[in-house]
Structure 1
């Protein structure tokens, strides 16, 4: 297991400040680097990593520290700020104090605060004479607590598990080596939407510790057992998957989330700028543009469609996955995947906005937005839905009400592929709205206001009709 300590400073940790922090364990500790020098490790006897220190990140996004860490100590710097993360192994008792001393030394020199605040100090932390630590395996992954042939297990004590750069790297390695990523947390932990998206679907899992059943899947509720080097579902005597009672407990809320999932397709032109469809959707729903983007959390870069386009172009033909975030007063977050295909450049976007009990989701703007996307931004298709869920957009390990669709939209190319006459006449009491000119129309199918689950049946019948010549 690793315990995380984070230094939030108004100034960049320079070389000498980092060196001073690395002396937290005295002269007996070794220093190593990994991840092409992006991670510095304080090592104990035999070279075993005790503390892994990530390269500092400059965070321009307002409210990002509060979003991911909750309440931070008084005196915390406002954005832009430097985020330096130290992960301490629990294999050696002194490691957490080493991480706290490293972070405390940074904030003493540079100003700022640490998280959690009680971890900070500046004392030297010598290792106990009886500490023995085996050297790390050559193929070990940093911050992975258990590695088997099929699964990488990460134990996290954070109250909110974010898709950090190191966690994203572990997920990439797991994908390349055909392993599952299992993140184990206490029952009070939550996930960010980015982490939930990454863990959706087998073989990856969110494993929640539970007093009653031991472990359960925080997204499906399946009771889990460690067997054959992985967490696997437990079956009842009848052969069904057992569901944890903690997962099924009432999680009703008056808060809601509006979800837009849409895809666009563009010709691979040198003048193409990505992210404009997402920006248009964001402005329609919130009245402003995103404030930041990144490939991991914390989301640190100022919003720029030109910069994210350059980044995706540099990675092509590999796909690019990135995140966008809104201002703290209007919770909104999006994931976007950019893929180069034989038909062009495709964007797959999921944008989620949160609303409190006294706030009305702007369902009336969905149709105008659909027309904007269909006529100006190469829309292929879009599903808009509404769900009862937390305004802050975090995911608890509880059964949440599934989203209910409120509209489905086809862009002009999709309508042309299906056939305009066929797409206009579904075998339902449903009249699509034409978007754009007669020569190149899109179609928008209103399905309801997000309160009637029967909308799922209507959507299923509609999609079945559209797929049938």
Structure 2
């Protein structure tokens, strides 16, 4: 198991300050680097890592510290330097060493520590008999347990965020054909990027509940540890049971508006990515995104040019990134940029949160669809509404799936399907034609965002579109 401690400082910790912090364990412990010097490790005399410290990140996005750590007294807002340490608790002194490291940085640089109770400046001598402690099977800073089947990450913090630590763990697990399984207490919630990243079996969010044991925080399935992996407990009929803690929920009246859209652009030197996302953000909130990054915390001010440069530098490899909104209007998006034979594609999931007394701007979706088709190479877009938290975090209990509201078929996709075919789905709905007659798009009203029957309507529609003579099967 690991313990996370974060130093938040107004100035960047330089190498001298970092080394002073790493002397929290006294002169007998060693220091080394890995990941091209992006991670510094404090290790025992036998070389075993005790504390791993990631390179400091300058957070320039307002509200980001509160979004990820929760509001609290003394928690600084941007701009602030975020230096995160992960301590192995297989050795008793690990957590104390991380707290002393962070406390020393905060003391020297007039900053603060999260969680506050972890901070100290004490020297923590290593008294544990290291030879009696089993050597972990993995040296990856984010992974606590590694088996043939799973990479297990244990997190004890209010929100599990898609940090660079966790992103590296996910990439490593995927490359090695292992499941990434995140274990948390029942008080923890996921951020939307973490929820999206866990999509796909057998990755899991494993929740430990004092009264109900282990269960899957996204499906509710009761779990147990078997064969080096958390897997569902199956009954005599071969089905998994659902934990009582997962189903015990109460409605709050809060909602989320979800847009899932894809754009497809010619791969030319003038292409600027992110403009479709910015257009959607402006249309629905009145402002552009506040910031973007390839991991959480989101650190960089919004810039379509900078994210385009990053994607171009990484091509032909895909680029995955996160965008967030301003604190007064909860909004978050993930974007996957992929180079394909057809050009450059952006797969975007934008989620916006609304309180019980707020009305989601469903009346703006039609005009937004028209704008995206005319100016931003929209291939398709599905909008939906769901009963879920305004702050966009994911709790470990049941949340109803989103209910479809509209579906848009962009001009390029419509050419492949054929206008006549797309205009006449036999079971409805009746589409609205967008744009000029020479280059039309179609916008289908699916439902009001509350009736589950809209899923049936959408399934019939997509089956009809997929059966068009010009589409690939």
TM range (shorter): over 0.9
Measure how far apart 1:370 and its partner are: 0.4
Residue 375 of structure 2 is matched in structure 1 by 376
* Coordinate RMSD, CA, aligned: 1.3
Measure how far apart 1:448 and its partner are: 1.9
Residue 336 of structure 1 is matched in structure 2 by 335
Residue 36 of structure 1 is matched in structure 2 by 36
SS in 1 for 2:400: coil
Residue 152 of structure 1 is matched in structure 2 by 151
Residue 363 of structure 2 is matched in structure 1 by 364
Greater mean alpha carbon deviation, residues 410-419 or residues 136-145: 136-145
If the length of structure 1 is used for normalisation, what is the TM-score? 0.97
Show structure 2 runs of 5+ residues with no match. 469-473
For residues 238-275 of structure 1, give each alpha carbon's deviation from its aligned partner in whole angstroms, at most 9, with x where no partner exists: 22111111111124221000000000000001000000
Q: Is the 8 A contact 1:47 1:134 kept in 2?
A: no
For residues 172-202 of structure 1, give each alpha carbon's deviation from its aligned partner in whole angstroms, at most 9, with x where no partner exists: 1111111110000001110000000011120
Report matched runs for 1:177-192 at 5 Å: 177-192=176-191
Q: Is the 8 A contact 1:104 1:122 kept in 2?
A: yes
SS in 2 for 1:395: coil
Residue 218 of structure 2 is matched in structure 1 by 219
Residue 229 of structure 2 is matched in structure 1 by 230
For residues 260-295 of structure 1, give each alpha carbon's deviation from its aligned partner in whole angstroms, at most 9, with x where no partner exists: 000000000100000000000000010000010001
Residue 125 of structure 1 is matched in structure 2 by 124
Residue 14 of structure 1 is matched in structure 2 by 14
Matched, 1:62 2:52: no
Measure how far apart 1:127 and its partner are: 1.4
Residue 434 of structure 2 is matched in structure 1 by 435
Residue 48 of structure 2 is matched in structure 1 by 48
Greater mean alpha carbon deviation, residues 94-103 or residues 306-315: 94-103
Residue 83 of structure 1 is matched in structure 2 by 82
Matched, 1:23 2:23: yes
**Number of residue-to-residue matches in the alignment:** 468
Report matched runs for 1:260-409 at 5 Å: 260-409=259-408
Measure how far apart 1:210 and its partner are: 2.1
Q: Is the 8 A contact 2:92 2:128 kept in 1?
A: no
Measure how far apart 1:73 and its partner are: 3.6
How far apart are the structure 2 equivalents of 1:140 and 1:57? Answer: 23
How far apart are the structure 2 equivalents of 1:404 and 1:240? Answer: 26
How far apart are the structure 1 equivalents of 2:193 and 2:107? Answer: 33
Residue 202 of structure 2 is matched in structure 1 by 203
Report matched runs for 1:91-106 at 5 Å: 91-106=90-105
How far apart are the structure 1 equivalents of 2:212 and 2:72? Answer: 34
Residue 107 of structure 2 is matched in structure 1 by 108
Measure how far apart 1:79 and its partner are: 1.1
SS in 2 for 1:240: coil
Measure how far apart 1:465 and its partner are: 1.2
If the length of structure 2 is used for normalisation, what is the TM-score? 0.97
Measure how far apart 1:80 and its partner are: 1.3
Measure how far apart 1:89 and its partner are: 1.0
How far apart are the structure 2 equivalents of 1:283 and 1:178? Answer: 40
Cα gap change, 1:376 to 1:391, in 2 (>3 Å): same
